[in-house]
Amino acid sequence: MGIKDRGMMKWHGFFMPEHSRELKKIHQDDKKIKMPLLDEYQLQEYEEKIIYAMEYRLPIEIKLYNGGFEELISGHVHYVDQIKRKFNVKDTHDQVHYVPYDEIMDVKIID
């Protein structure tokens, strides 16, 4: 005859909601990246690509720094404001994104 369990649930550790939230936050903070420092040459190159893509209506892919994470936006450039250092990108879902130059990490023209 084998060992018989008493029918009681075995103890499993648990986390209070505050602990779970804090662990999730710590896990997300570990995934964060730092904004790369870009020199003037890179910034000028990105700006030229953005203006070129707008002028010739070429699709563009922009990698942005968004609060410690990378964000990728693809679409067409509709407006460039060089004074405010911002531009508008309309994505494939017809949603308009307002992109400041300060958040750009990389720019690619899609052929």
Read off the pLDDT of residues 48-93 as tens digits, 9 standing for 90 and up: 999 999 999 999 999 999 988 899 999 999 999 989 999 999 998 9
Q: What share of the chain is helix, strand, coil (3-state, %, to 5)?
A: 30, 35, 35
**CA neighbours closer than 13 Å in the CB half-sphere of residue 74:** 6
| Residue 104, number of CB atoms within 10 A of its CB | 22
> pTM for the complete prediction?
0.71
Give CA–CA dist 66/33, Å, rounded.
Answer: 10
Domains of the chain: 40-109 (2.30.30.100)
11 pLDDT more than 90:
no
Contacts of 109 (CB under 8 A, 6+ apart): 49, 52, 53, 58, 59, 60, 61
Q: How is residue 62 annotated by DSSP? A: E
Lateral strand order in the sheet of 69-81 = 96-100, 86-91, 69-81, 59-66, 104-109
